[in-house]
Structure 1
Amino acid sequence: MKHPSIGVEEELLLVSATGKPLPRSQAVVDDLPDLDVTLELTRAQVEINSPVCNSAAELHRHLTSMRKELAGAAHSEGARLLAIAVPPAGKAAQLVTKKPRYRELAERFGLLAREQGICGCHVHVDVPDKEAAVRVSNHLRPWLPTLLALTANSPIYLGQDTGFASWRWLMWSRWPSAGPPPYLESVEHYEALVAMHVAVGTAMDEQMIYWDVRPSSHLPTIELRVSDVPLTVDETVLLATLCRALVMTALDDGGLGPTVQPEILRAGYWLAARDGLTDAAVDVMTGELLPVADLLTKLTQYVAPALQELGEADLVTEGIARALTDGNGAIRQQQMFRGGGDVVALTEVES
């Protein structure tokens, strides 16, 4: 049986020596004509797009190489490349990239767009068609807060400890089409909701449906967008492997997926964003508060058959154990910041 392929987009931040966003993305991208790296909304962001991959090892190789090459280009342009989800220093408002789409977005959404210098990680997993993507979306909804907690990497914002593991999630949730996807009854239901957002002006088009899980508007994939950009390639590969296994599990089920009460899901998200891996988490299927380690165990048990089929069970078990023992990006940033250390150096990608 052919397993679904995967691909990853990582948004990364260009900063000055002191950690302030540096608007050099166009120059950095121009230095790398043969690398799949693109501009983002603000001029201090760049995005790397991995090739389509069929294993965790393949994805790891590509992301490691691409991060290193991009960091080298950034250095040649006087910038430091950070794997961090919010700017650690500077001002909130950023310069918007000089592309017609981004300029229109800034005109229509004002300061919300100009303060959007935040970096996420998007995982694409191959699905047969949009109908399958709709079903998969429903199945993935209950696990989105857990994935957010696992990969949180944005506690320090503009020189302040926010008290949240993922401050990016707080900033991202301000968009009218962001956050958890609604429970989708059909492709027609999905298309009607997209059409509504476009008609009332809360989205410019289907590409601006920013739900944390969505059918891709231009690829035969389901796209998971809940995560901060992780600190390390290992963490990104762990996330992508879990996403792939979740999609496989959903496709094997074939049904429309479990319903989740929106208010419980909202509570689960909020606690995941605040506490990450440091405290209890909400099981959104029951509303019960559990140790986050127990919820991660539930997740791995849920996707265990898929992980065994992929041959990636050890990678996931060891990756989660490492995150719980050594800390994810959020924990390591907070420890560094509270100890008077250099968060920029901690999150800088090596060239």
Structure 2
Amino acid sequence: MTTVGVEEEFLLVDPRTRRPVARAEEVLAHVAPHDLPAGAKAHRELIGTQVEFASGVCRDLPELAGQLVAGRRVLDRAARAEGLRLAATGTPVLADPAPALSRGERFELIENLYRGQVADYQCCGCHVHVGVPDRDTAVHVVNHLRPWLPTLLALGGNSPFHAGRDTGYASWRMLEQAKFPGAGVTPYFKTAAEHDAAVDRLVDCGVLADAAQTFWLARPSPRYPTVEVRVADTAATAAHAVLQAGLTRALVRTALAAGSPPPEPDEQVLAAAVWSAARYGLTGSGVDVLAARRVPAVELVEALVAHVSDHLGEDRDQVGSLLRDVLAGGTGAQRQRAAGEAGPAVDLLTWIVTESG
């Protein structure tokens, strides 16, 4: 059985101003361990406007869906206890400059290293963890995942607004993340030792705080026996997060069963595919990285589903239903834009944050 878990980052917003508020400590004080699902955790992030929910290790998608909905409801109640609301968006729709950063030795190390680059980095992602036997297997899996990461991003874009303006992108968060050293699709590595040596070199070069910090979109987790895929923005609804988890788990299973070496697409074409997915989401063109050509983004989704079809297993019906809902009702970015303007988009996000789908 291939286990799965999800980490979700959220913003705390004032319902009157609709802007993020740096009161994570106060909000988390309202969350007791027994309020959360078994094995789940809630904690602060780098910026004081952010909180994170991390699910426990789940055996199937229904269990994961239940945990994500429960976690969102617990954090939403805690935010409301402080007169705030929980918003699931990749970037702040409206924002004030330079919110307070969280205190702590590692947070301060990151702040001192990146300075102004993190002073207003209020970006929130959806990180999917899928269990694997060991780190060498994790590296093998990541190699197979590389061509499909842009398609997961196109499905998971949920940050069209930033600081009050429509950026024109489905995922502005990805553009913000691209500013960090080494960001983008994970390089091809033959072994875990080769991967770890590359990370250590970046630490020695002074561009990463430590070996637990990389900006690649997929990696062997530095803490858990998992492959960690962190390409998508925080999902607007729990259902969208479950879809990311289901497709990612199917990609991992497909990689584990692969009888041939992973493809090695051109690095510049991979970068172009990430940019196109961030720019257009599902509403325009994408890049077929294996053919190195432009195609409609929805065709890439169809290709991904065909690629994993034999390994969806018990997730097939749920993933199919969730995918149809997103294709019909829109990604998070499409739903935000449908609200019309930045202010109403915040209201929508705080309203649907606990929606289960």
TM-score norm. by structure 2 comes to 0.94
Whole-Å separation in 1 of the counterparts to 2:85 and 2:234: 16
Q: What's the secondary structure of 2:277's corresponding residue? A: helix
Give the % identical residues: 40
Give the counterpart of 1:347 among 340, 346, 349: 349
Q: What's the secondary structure of 2:101's corresponding residue? A: coil
CA contact (8 A) 2:43 2:51 kept: yes
Q: Is it true that 1:334 corresponds to 2:337 in the alignment?
A: yes
CA contact (8 A) 2:238 2:354 kept: no
Give the counterpart of 2:10 among 6, 9, 12: 12
The aligned residue for residue 280 of structure 2 is 275
The aligned residue for residue 70 of structure 1 is 75
One-letter identity of the residue aligned with 2:4: I
Q: What's the secondary structure of 1:95's corresponding residue? A: coil
Of the structure 1 ranges 45-54 and 318-327, higher mean CA displacement relative to structure 2 is found in 318-327
Whole-Å separation in 2 of the counterparts to 1:75 and 1:350: 13
Q: How does 1:154-303 map to 2 (within 5 A)?
A: 154-253=159-258, 255-303=260-308
Q: What's the secondary structure of 1:89's corresponding residue? A: coil
CA contact (8 A) 1:135 1:254 kept: no
CA contact (8 A) 1:177 1:208 kept: no
CA contact (8 A) 1:164 1:275 kept: yes
Summarize deviations over 1:79-112 as a string: whole Å, max 9, x none: 1100111111123432110111111211111011
Report the CA distance between 1:318 and its aligned residue: 2.3
Whole-Å separation in 1 of the counterparts to 2:320 and 2:296: 17
Of the structure 1 ranges 27-36 and 143-152, higher mean CA displacement relative to structure 2 is found in 27-36
CA contact (8 A) 1:13 1:21 kept: yes
Q: What's the secondary structure of 2:340's corresponding residue? A: helix
The aligned residue for residue 30 of structure 1 is 29
Whole-Å separation in 2 of the counterparts to 1:158 and 1:49: 27
Report the CA distance between 1:177 and its aligned residue: 3.0
Of the structure 1 ranges 132-141 and 311-320, higher mean CA displacement relative to structure 2 is found in 311-320
Report the CA distance between 1:288 and its aligned residue: 2.0
Of the structure 1 ranges 326-335 and 312-321, higher mean CA displacement relative to structure 2 is found in 312-321
Taking only aligned residues, the RMSD between alpha carbons, in angstroms, comes to 1.4
Summarize deviations over 1:298-335 as a string: whole Å, max 9, x none: 1011101111x2x2212222222221221111011112
Report the CA distance between 1:207 and its aligned residue: 1.3
Q: How many residues align?
A: 346
One-letter identity of the residue aligned with 1:337: G
Q: What's the secondary structure of 1:211's corresponding residue? A: coil
TM-score norm. by structure 1 comes to 0.96
Q: What's the secondary structure of 1:124's corresponding residue? A: strand
Q: What's the secondary structure of 2:102's corresponding residue? A: coil
Q: What's the secondary structure of 2:212's corresponding residue? A: helix
Report the CA distance between 1:16 and its aligned residue: 1.1
Unpaired runs of 5+ in structure 1?
Answer: none
Report the CA distance between 1:350 and its aligned residue: 4.6
CA distance 1:128–1:231, shift in 2 (3 Å): same
What stretches of structure 1 move > 4 A for 4+ residues in a row? none
Report the CA distance between 1:284 and its aligned residue: 0.7
Whole-Å separation in 1 of the counterparts to 2:197 and 2:259: 23
CA contact (8 A) 2:94 2:343 kept: no
Of the structure 1 ranges 249-258 and 4-13, higher mean CA displacement relative to structure 2 is found in 249-258
Whole-Å separation in 2 of the counterparts to 1:191 and 1:148: 25
Q: Is it true that 1:105 corresponds to 2:110 in the alignment?
A: yes
Whole-Å separation in 2 of the counterparts to 1:170 and 1:91: 19
Report the CA distance between 1:341 and its aligned residue: 6.4
Whole-Å separation in 1 of the counterparts to 2:136 and 2:149: 20
Q: What's the secondary structure of 1:210's corresponding residue? A: coil
Unpaired runs of 5+ in structure 2?
Answer: none
